[in-house]
Chain A
Amino acid sequence: MLGYAGSILIVDLSSGKIEKVPLTEDMARKYLGSLGINAKLLFDHTRAGIDPLSAENVLIFGAGPLVGTLIPTASKSDVSAKSPLTGLLGTTSSGYHFGSEMKYAGYDHILIKGKANKPVYLAIQDDVVEIRDASRLWGKDTWQTIDLLQEEWKSEEIQVAVIGQSGENLIRFSAIQNGKYDAWARTGMGAVMGSKLLKAIVIRGKGGIRVADKKAFKQVSREMRQMIIDSPFFEAVSKYGSMAAAGVYGKFGALPVKNYQTGVIEDWFQTRGFKVLEQYSDQKMACPACPVGCAHWAVVKEGAYAGLKIKGIEITPVFEIGAKLFVHDMDGILQCAAIFHRTGTDIVSGCGTIAMLMELYQRGLISEDTIGFPVPWGDVETICKLIRMISKREGIGDILAEGAKKANLALTGNDDYAMTIKGLEILSFDPRSRWSVWTFGILTNTRGGDNLRTRNPVENLRFPSLPDDYRTEPFGFPEEFYNKIDMPENVKRKIINPDRKTTDIILMEKWSEDLIAIFNAIGICTRPPSLQAQGPTSIARMLRACLGWNIDAEEVMLMGERIWNLQRLYNLREGEKREDSLFPKRFYREKLPDGPAKGMAIDPDQVNQMLDDYYEARGWDRKTGVPKEAKIAELGLGDEWFSVVLP
């Protein structure tokens, strides 16, 4: 098959059986790739209600049809399994080189099932696949493991997916590291890998990917690159990466300061704003085929952590460590980030869990004796000590390893300070400070409390949200921009108000969820400026040139909707209820104490109304959120639907 590598690698660690099965054209045409096919494989290869850390769970890596080619930003791969943190769909995406290396080795997907009887790693060199002993690697951190594997393979070109101590010790929010500095971080996929006694996957591929129409492919790939470069967001993001937005969040008072107790830090911009980047880095780093290069190679030159070198200074670690845990300086933020990477621990859930503990301590709800030492906000050494204790389940770390919600319940009998949705620690942006497609999307995300599966391509951060209006957010772009949005005219008019001042949150939620599902299925980047530059029309063009399919924008969006609904059906099968769609209690109970959004809290009635309307817009039952028969027929998900509604 053109574009695709054409095969799924299935490895059963219990029996040692390794098989290579063809990826069928039917499967590809229905679920496209990566996230889409991962979700389908997870649905079919697991029974309802399994223990996520048992041998019955499967761990699936997927790289989409455009990954490994010259299509700009096409580098993302997705890892899926049943999540040990939420009990629902686990899914997490990462860029860098692993996805393309999978394709070059000949695999669109790698599905791992069963459980080894001793620590092993999976060695893949094109057609040669071996399960190798990993006793000497077990217990090592991710950076040490990668060094040892590079030595063993005598190659720096190998791509490595690896767990640290957190994954080994079944920390419910452990990550799988994608090389030393990138990760499939969310929803605890590291613990699933650890439960299988699988320390790492090493992959080296020397094959190639062919496309349907060389000339058309070259042309569309160049045009897409130019679109990205011409995007109004390109200059800032290309220079400062995701940090370009760090100041804006500060301006809205949307920072998750000390576990969301306030949204404001006085000296935020001077100490943790984008300009600080320049003191640490003069080298940008890009994922394959990306013209933006939003990552930076950072070097700590002086102070206690002098000599630390790390790819980073990204908005997420800076918000999580710098605001949520209140670490004042970039040196300290980078040091904490390095320990998260080395132990293989999700920074967002890790910070959410540690922040919960620090707030309990601040309020005197937990004593120093219980913890064993004081845990003041912003103390870098204390944070690093806690991460290490969590990763080894030592002392209080054993309780924290269960995630913020369960740990909060275990420590105080309630979950008042667990900033989670459906068990997943939320990241960054405080919805009280700016209600939008992005913040409402935390509630509807198929993987729980996280906003990275909804990106409103016309979000305009120059404007604050509209007070008391839950249904719309400001649009505010010029006519020229409006005209260029890649969206069918009839849909565009419904979503964006004709006077072009507002965007309908519900309708845009659905549109952008379906669209981002497609981004994650083909493997292109969901961040600005890629987000604004690519849409269903250009994606259809890319797929036509790459795969040789006769596909249009409408079919692209239908595939996106199918993938979103399949994820929904999986979650319903695993027991998700409407009642689970709740923001953390703090957002309803406590008004923001200061900043531009002072006095704002979330109105539960308004949110309920929004959920009703969202379900309706999706063709789901208004109250239960179960997809209706008509929608299922339209999407061709009958078998899956029947297995959920008529178990």
Chain B
Amino acid sequence: MNKFILVDPGKCIGCRSCALACSFEHDDEFNLSLTRISPLWMTEIGRFIPMTCQQCEEPLCLDVCPRKAISADKKTSAIVVDEDLCIGCRACFLVCPFGVPVIHRNKGYMIKCDLCGGSPQCVEECSQQALSTVESDDAALRKRREAAQKLQALTEKISEKAS
């Protein structure tokens, strides 16, 4: 099962440290147009939502790539791009539901989250613990636990009102 970066939008404060750490790690510079993760401000709901690759189990980008440049990394399980094979055709961008793949402005090949070879720098630099690297079944359990806590609080409220 693929590991991915789990986002907790309730914790993100929009500082962009994740985005800065990402381009610094991959391109040795602070550059928001080369970043593989973007915390976006959603005015309507009043939340920041960091958007990055979900490391899909059946990645559409991998399916459509005409050069077979996209594959699952054996060590990290991340969906990665072979820079030499990629021709920058953007087919992956067209099919990705999350808008993840972008073409590197200076180098011409597609870039996306590769989990930094196993220790994602965005997770390391997030001061709010809004990001974590997880396997999806663990993520599901964590989400259920949080939901359970909310449910418990709700039950307490209801019983308070009833008494």
Contact = CB atoms under 8 A, between A and B. Distances in A.
Given A206-B31, A208-B31, A214 B24 contact: yes
Given A206-B105, A290-B15, A69 B20 contact: yes
Interface stretch (A279-287, A365-373, A550-558): A279-287
B29 interface: yes
Given A68-B30, A209-B31, A291-B15, A225 B127 contact: yes
A299 interface: yes
A407 B153 CA distance: 56
Contacts of A299: 46
A297 interface: yes
A331 B88 CA distance: 52
Contacts of A289: 15-17, 20
B125 A70 contact: yes
B66 to A, nearest CB: 27
Interface string B1-39: 000000000000111110011011001111111100000
A563 B28 CA distance: 32
A104 B43 contact: no
Contacts of B15: 286-291, 293
Contacts of A309: 43, 46
A1 B46 CA distance: 39
B90 interface: no
A11 B32 CA distance: 26
A593 interface: no
Interface residues of A, number: 28
A207 B31 contact: yes
Interface in A179-233: 206-210, 214, 218, 222, 225, 229
Most buried by B among A70, A210, A299: A70
Interface residues of B, number: 26
A284 B30 contact: no
- Counting chain B CB atoms within 10 Å of each CB, which of A283, A285, A293, A299 scores highest? A283
A381 to B, nearest CB: 26
Nearest to A103: B30
Given A70-B20, A285-B14, A290-B15, A210 B28 contact: yes
Given A70-B21, A208-B23, A286 B14 contact: yes
Contacts of A225: 127
Contacts of B47: 283
A210 B13 CA distance: 25
Contacts of B105: 206
Given A70-B24, A225-B127, A290-B15, A297 B30 contact: no
Contacts of A286: 13-15
A191 B62 CA distance: 55
A287 B28 CA distance: 22
A206 B125 CA distance: 22
Contact of B30 (A69, A222, A290, A293): A69
Nearest to B17: A289
A70 B121 CA distance: 12
Contacts of B34: 208
Interface string B61-77: 00000000000000000
- With most chain A CB atoms within 10 A of its CB, the pick from B28, B31, B105 is B31
B30 A208 contact: yes
A104 B14 contact: no
B33 to A, nearest CB: 4
Contacts of A288: 15-16, 20
B13 A293 contact: yes
B2 to A, nearest CB: 27
A309 B47 CA distance: 12
A207 B48 CA distance: 24
B19 to A, nearest CB: 9
Nearest to A298: B46
Contacts of B127: 225, 229, 291
B163 to A, nearest CB: 26
Nearest to A206: B33
A289 B13 CA distance: 10
A209 B30 contact: yes
A344 B15 CA distance: 25
Nearest to A209: B30
A210 B41 CA distance: 26
B37 to A, nearest CB: 14
Given A70-B20, A283-B47, A209 B29 contact: yes
A311 B14 CA distance: 13
Nearest to A297: B46
B131 to A, nearest CB: 14
Interface in A102-156: 104, 156
A229 B13 CA distance: 15
Interface string B97-122: 00000000100000000000000000
Nearest to B44: A309
A222 B127 CA distance: 10
A302 to B, nearest CB: 16
Nearest to B15: A286
Contacts of B41: 156
B20 to A, nearest CB: 5
B68 to A, nearest CB: 30
A207 B91 CA distance: 25
Given A287-B15, A289-B15, A299-B46, A208 B20 contact: no
Contacts of B27: 208
B117 to A, nearest CB: 16
A288 B15 CA distance: 4
A208 B33 CA distance: 8
A289 B24 CA distance: 13
Contacts of B30: 68-70, 208-209
Given A283-B48, A291-B127, 10 more contacts: A69-B20, A69-B30, A70-B125, A104-B33, A208-B30, A209-B30, A288-B16, A289-B20, A291-B128, A293-B15
24 contacts: A69-B20, A70-B17, A70-B21, A70-B125, A206-B32, A206-B105, A207-B31, A208-B34, A209-B29, A209-B30, A210-B28, A210-B29, A214-B24, A218-B24, A225-B127, A283-B47, A284-B13, A285-B13, A287-B15, A288-B15, A289-B17, A293-B13, A297-B46, A299-B46
8 pairs of A and B residues whose beta carbons are closest in the complex: A208-B31, A208-B29, A291-B127, A293-B13, A286-B15, A206-B33, A286-B13, A209-B30
